[in-house]
Amino acid sequence: MASEFSTCGGSHLARKSEIVSARAKLGALRDVLVVEDDPLDAERMTATLHVIFGYELRIHLASTLGDAVDRVIESKPSLVFLDDILKPSTNALQAIPLLRGAGYAGPIIVVSGQVTHQRRSSLLANGAGEVIHKDEVDSVRVAEAIARLDLNRPGGSSVG
Determine the Cα–Cα distance for residues 76 and 29; give it in Å rounded to an integer. 11
Determine the Cα–Cα distance for residues 46 and 56; give it in Å rounded to an integer. 12
Phi and psi at 113, nearest 5°, equal -90, 0
Tell me the pLDDT of the chain (160 aa) as tens digits: 444 444 555 555 555 566 566 556 555 567 899 999 999 999 999 999 998 888 888 999 999 999 999 999 999 999 999 999 998 888 999 999 999 999 999 999 999 998 899 999 999 999 999 999 999 899 889 988 988 886 655 555 554 4
Determine the Cα–Cα distance for residues 135 and 138; give it in Å rounded to an integer. 9
Catalogue all structural domains in the chain, each as residue range(s) with its CATH number: 2-156 (3.40.50.2300)
H helix or E strand, kind and range, residue 32: strand 31-35
pLDDT of residue 159: 46
Phi-psi region of 47 (alpha: psi -120 to 50; beta: other; left: phi over 0): alpha
pLDDT of residue 19: 59
Q: What is the pTM of this model?
A: 0.81
Phi and psi at 88, nearest 5°, equal -85, -30
Are 82 and 95 spatial neighbours (Cβ–Cβ below 8 Å)?
Answer: yes
Measured in whole angstroms, how far is the alpha carbon of residue 119 from the centre of its chain?
16
Return the beta strands (E) in 64-124 as ranges. 79-83, 85-86, 90-91, 108-112
CA dist 57 → 31, 106, 157 (Å): 6, 17, 23
